[in-house]
Amino acid sequence: MGNSVAKLAALDFGIQLLAFLPSSYFQTERFYDLVGSSTFLCLARLGLHFSQKTFRQKVQANLISAWAIRLGSFLFYRVIHDGVDRRFNKVRGNPSIFFKYWMLQGVWVFLTMLPSLLNNESKDRLKPTTRDYIGWGMFGVGFLTEVIADYQKFTFRSDPDNAGKFISHGLWSISRHPNYFGEILLWSGLFVSASSSFKNWEWLSIISPLFNYYLLTRVSGIPMLERSGLKRYGHLPAYQDYIKSVPELIPFFGKP
């Protein structure tokens, strides 16, 4: 692994540690997602600075930057609007557990960005290949899906008339978690495009999309929201029909 990748990994965890200290002292999670997204942005720009600045490297960095700015600003606005992030209800007052959340964010940032960081180590100046365009196309579809899904759910929840109701229109009518589908798809796309420059062990960075899939479908994403949904709406026949008829993740496909 290149020297620049090691430096960026150290910077990644250093940022999480520095942000954890005041957040733990004031027992607030308001800056958690903003710091995570800002770390992506920081590593994307610095990684490009350390690279040969090939066309592929520039596109990868710019796509990650656009994603980080959009998601970070959206999540920060949402937590300010809502006043609290329910994920942290049982941990913000426990420094040792809260610390693990911040370090997990560091792991998430590094592993997710690993394909693009390794691509920055490439010395080649090869022109983009079909694989690059397929990967960037996957990113585009995933990014658009995530943006639309987030917007639909936020506007739905912001309407007082929808209190006690669950969203089941738009993209949410074809997937119970379309934003997570978009997230998994866009990072998978960036792995596909970055892999155009891979040799030998660099292919192990496939851990990036696999880790994102595991994190969102088995750890902090879908499982938490599914439990919350059943607790809040499980008594409603309409919600029972919804979870029986709408796929959990992949639109139109997969088991409900």
Secondary structure element (H or E) that encloses residue 21, with its range: helix 3-25
Six-digit token string for 157: 């929840």
For the chain, the domains span: 1-125, 128-256
Q: Where are the beta strands (DSSP E) in 18-89?
A: none
CA dihedral angle for residue 181, residue 183, residue 189, residue 190, rounded to 10 degrees: -170
* No. of helices (H) and no. of strands (E), the chain: 9, 0
Whether the CB-CB separation of 220 and 246 falls below 8 Å is answered with: no
Residue-by-residue pLDDT tens, the chain, 256 positions: 668 999 999 999 999 999 999 999 999 999 999 999 999 999 999 999 999 999 999 999 999 999 999 999 999 998 888 877 878 888 888 999 999 999 999 999 999 999 999 999 988 777 899 999 999 999 999 999 999 999 999 999 999 999 999 999 999 999 999 999 999 999 999 999 999 999 889 999 999 999 999 999 998 889 999 999 999 999 999 999 999 999 999 998 866 6
CB contact set of 85 (below 8 Å; sequence gap of 6+) = 29, 30, 32, 33, 79
Predicted TM-score of the model (pTM): 0.93
CA dihedral angle for residue 144, residue 170, residue 158, residue 146, rounded to 10 degrees: -20
Whether the CB-CB separation of 156 and 162 falls below 8 Å is answered with: yes
